[in-house]
Chains A and B, each alone.
Chain A
């Protein structure tokens, strides 16, 4: 190959590479919206407080925030008003909360709690009126293990885990994150 031709080949290769990099960069913002490359949601089925099955897959088509919490967990309690607010704001747009309680006493602890404990949401006293289910260690293992609570997972409409929150969620950030998926 002549030197000139070699140079053209190298130039073309460089252009191809830079073009590919540019394409990757421009698609990365879309990747987070389309959840491409994110881990698929685990294949788990919860029990609700009536004992009925609630599979995560049955919620496909909705944006879901799975929140692992417990009645004895003060940080968990502190974020509940924000989570009630999320349900209020986005339910009609295809979003749902799924509050998965890790209370050892199960329904016995959770049922009275969700019906009687009041939270201040925008100046109004509200109960936890979003869907509540019971979590188990087997379920949290499928999410990769649960070291602390609260821990929440934002799941896209097509069933990909797009974000994990450990600890109390930042209300403004989680609103932006949910909106980005709707």
Chain B
């Protein structure tokens, strides 16, 4: 019996700098852990009718989007599609948004809401598409503030790819 769509995935959110100086580029990573036995369409599924995974930030004033980086999916076959592989995410994947805190970004604590949209299936049935809100908390500082790189295990590894 399938789980509910929202319960198939657990997310953790990380930011790459603390604080984020104005004028500096930084990243928000959403690590998506997918329940065993389930997969979700990648950002670039093999068929246009399939619902892709997307990550969409709702940007506060002064924060601009530079890029959204999706991992490559894996081509896998399933009992319902034995001859046609699907490009999917399984287990754990990391999605990232590259952002810049502009000169007009408000100083202090800021929240960046991000929406993860995905559509998951197991080997025999599909769950409806779902939008999961996640939140990235950052602290914006003056342009000359010293920023500490955070979570190198996520951001250094992602940069190396």
Contact = CB atoms under 8 A, between A and B. Distances in A.
A166 B1 CA distance: 8
A9 B70 CA distance: 79
Contacts of B2: 147-148, 166
Interface string A62-106: 000000001111111011000000000000000000000010100
Interface in B96-136: 119, 121-122, 124-129
A78 B4 contact: no
B56 interface: no
Contacts, number: 60
A64 to B, nearest CB: 21
The prevalent SS among residues of A at the interface is: loop
Contacts of A72: 49-51, 119, 126, 129
Interface string B36-64: 00000000000001110000000000000
B80 A168 contact: yes
B126 A148 contact: yes
B122 to A, nearest CB: 8
B29 interface: no
Contact of A147 (B1, B50, B79, B80): B1
Q: How large is the interface on A (under 10, 10 to 19, 20 to 34, 35 or more residues)?
A: 20 to 34
B81 interface: yes
Contacts of A149: 125-128
A104 B129 contact: yes
Nearest to B41: A72
Contacts of B129: 72, 104
Contacts of A167: 124-125
B1 A73 contact: no
A110 B40 CA distance: 22
B86 interface: yes
B91 interface: no
Interface of B: 1-4, 49-51, 78-81, 86, 119, 121-122, 124-129
Given A73-B126, A166-B124, 9 more contacts: A72-B49, A74-B80, A74-B86, A74-B121, A74-B126, A113-B49, A147-B3, A166-B1, A168-B125
